[in-house]
Structure 1
Amino acid sequence: MRFNWDFDYIKISKYFYTFSIIITLLGILSLAVFGLNYGVDFRSGSNVDITASKSVTKEEIEPVLEEIGLAADEPQISAGSDRVNIRFPSVLNEEQESSLKASFNEKIDPEASFEVNTVDPEMAKELGRNAIYAVLLASLGIMIYVTIRFEWRFAVAAIVALLHDAFVVISIFSLFRWEVDLTFITAVLTIVGFSINDTIVVFDRIRENLRFSKIKTRTDLNEVVNRSISQTMTRSLYTTVTVFIASLFLFLLGGESIRMFSLAMVIGLVFGAYSSIFIASPLWAVLKGKQKPNHNNPSKTTP
């Protein structure tokens, strides 16, 4: 079944620019005021994941922690189902871990299993730095690749779009205080990959259509961009929806360890498809429209 995707994407792009700017400003404000809710991967402490054989509530856990002397650290407790997470701001020693496991098995659920992850302060700082470097290096590599394969205007538009996608996901996690851990960073880098893939497909079609078009005015240029987006829309949506459905079911049915990864993917895939259509391509059209014409051949412009 074929759909007609012909539409003036350039004309309405200003509304999407406004929407993206608003989200970006809200994200900056949220990060400045609240920051990110870092998981144990990025700050020192111990994270205890418990798989119980029954539903466990926070009210059942608190007396157990008080009894063994771990309530003074004011741990964050996430409970209400058979999956329980307790995050301690300080590192638990072997004796404290043993006491927690023994007390939980004795008082709440003898069949419960435990997974304890601990990160010291220096390792947390190093992981945070490496995460930032990974995103920056990925962006730099993509920019170099797109510049070589296409031109610098395509590269600028692509980088703006992928940074937009990454920052939107980070902003939403900051606004809703969702936990950021190493799987979140993996999700952001994966989103960057999907975003640039969608963008490159549209850019490749724009380049092909430019070869057979006589561009004399800004309107001609906009028509080429609109046509290129329309021609690639079905392919982009099929790819995005396929991965989106897989990520959504991973979020709904997957384990706690990949929950934030799946959630970040669900959000990032939506904005990745959105930015390729309404951010990257219209931005390239703006940059290309400012290019000086080649007087030797009016139908072409200088790079």
Structure 2
Amino acid sequence: MRFKKELDFVHLSKFFYIFSIALTVAGLIFLASFGLNYSVDFKAGSNVDISLSKNLTLEEVNSAVEKTGISSEPSITLGSERVNVRYDQVLDEQQDEALKAEILKLDDKASFEINTVDTEMSKELARNAIYAVLISCLGIIIYVSIRFEWRFALAAIVSLIHDAFMVVAIFSIFRLEVDLTFIIAVLTIIGYSINDTIVIFDRIRENLRFGKQKTYEDLKELVNKSVAQTLMRSLYTAFTVFIAAFFLLILGGESIKMFSLAMVIGLLFGAYSSIFIASPIWLLLKKREKTNVKSPAKG
């Protein structure tokens, strides 16, 4: 499928800018007001994963948990022959044994896996997650700067930050739970997005070699042409990965639900950021170079 030359991707990017800016502002407001809904992975507490030999109802599990006498109200998630009970407090040995005893009354073949995160460990996990994202972004800047030029690198990193923050904003606005798999999803989205962006940038660089761009309109036409030439490849790739992530969300287990959801959201934003965010930003930076080169001649 070929797109007409007159299809102006640069002009269409203005509408995507407006949408992204509006969502960014909303995300910043929610983050400042409510923060993120961290799971037990990032805050002190205990996570009890229970494997069962039969399915239990939510009422049965709630009743068993209430009989333990633990003051903290847990978050309970039911699965097929599995129950996950999460407390915001760290359970001591006596509380662990009380919970096990009540569940064993319902299923004497139940097995337990209890993970505890203390305050210092949760803070360290949060710091390391931020460092992982920042270091990956820094590595991408260096790579793109060496392979292309700093304008491509700056445009690429803005696009990556956009994709990552859009996922964070959605999770903050809808109070979705953020766990360790969420960080993995964000890093995966960054890797996917830079791959798609590099494909378009490579085509822009190639077209620059075979044409003489003297004005902004020439550069704009070149960007539109480059995007059109790589668009179907980008859409096919995005759609293929999206389908895989979508079925992971629908059919996958509870433990990877937030990972799959973050991937689905990130892929949707990543599908348009390379086209409507990264490329137009490079065009703006290149336009300023053209302007700066021409200005001394006027004197």
Please report the TM-score for the alignment, with normalisation by the length of structure 1. Answer: 0.91
Query: Which stretch of the first structure deviates more once superposed, 199-208 or 46-55?
Result: 46-55
C-alpha deviation, 1:84, in angstroms? 3.1
1:283 corresponds to which residue?
281
1:54-75 Cα distance to aligned partner (Å, 9 max, x none): 2521x333322221111x1122
C-alpha displacement of 1:113: 3.9
Equivalent residues in 2 for 1:69-218 (5 A)? 69-70=69-70, 72-79=71-78, 82-107=81-106, 109-218=107-216
Secondary structure, counterpart of 2:55 in structure 1: strand
State the 1:15 CA deviation: 0.9
Q: Which residue is 1:54 aligned to?
A: 55
Distance 1:128 1:177 in 2: 18
- For residues 55 and 235 of structure 1, do their structure 2 counterparts lie closer, same or farther at Cα, with a shift above 3 Å needed? farther
Tell me, yes or no, if the aligned pair for 1:225 and 1:281 is still in contact at 8 Å. Answer: yes
Contact 1:191 1:268 (8 Å CA) reproduced:
yes
Q: RMSD over aligned Cα, in angstroms?
A: 1.9
Question: Residues 20-62 of structure 1, C-alpha deviation per residue, up to 9 Å, x if partnerless?
Answer: 00010111011111111111111111012334422521x3333
Alpha-carbon distance, 1:95 to partner: 3.0
List alignment gaps of at least 5 residues for structure 2: none
Counterpart Cα distance in 1 of 2:69 and 2:56: 24
Q: How far apart are residue 102 of structure 1 and its match?
A: 2.4
Structure 2: how far apart are the matches of 1:124 and 1:38? 10
Q: Match of 1:254?
A: 252
| Aligned mates of 2:56, 2:276 — CA distance in 1 | 45
Higher helix fraction (1 or 2):
2
CA contact under 8 A between 1:5 and 1:233: conserved in structure 2? no
**In 2, Cα distance between equivalents of 1:182 and 1:80:** 20
8 Å contact 2:76–2:85 — kept in the other structure?
Answer: yes
Question: In structure 2, what residue type is equivalent to 1:90?
Answer: Q
- The answer to whether 1:239 aligns with 2:237 is yes
Inter-CA distance 26–81: structure 2 relative to 1 (3 Å threshold): farther
1:270 to 265, 268, 272: 268
Contact 1:5 1:231 in 2 (8 A): no
Q: Is residue 51–residue 114 contact of structure 1 (8 Å, CA) maintained in 2? A: yes
Contact 2:2 2:228 in 1 (8 A): no
Q: Is the 8 A contact 1:165 1:268 kept in 2?
A: yes
Specify every segment of 5 or more residues in structure 1 that has no aligned partner in the other structure, as ranges: 299-303
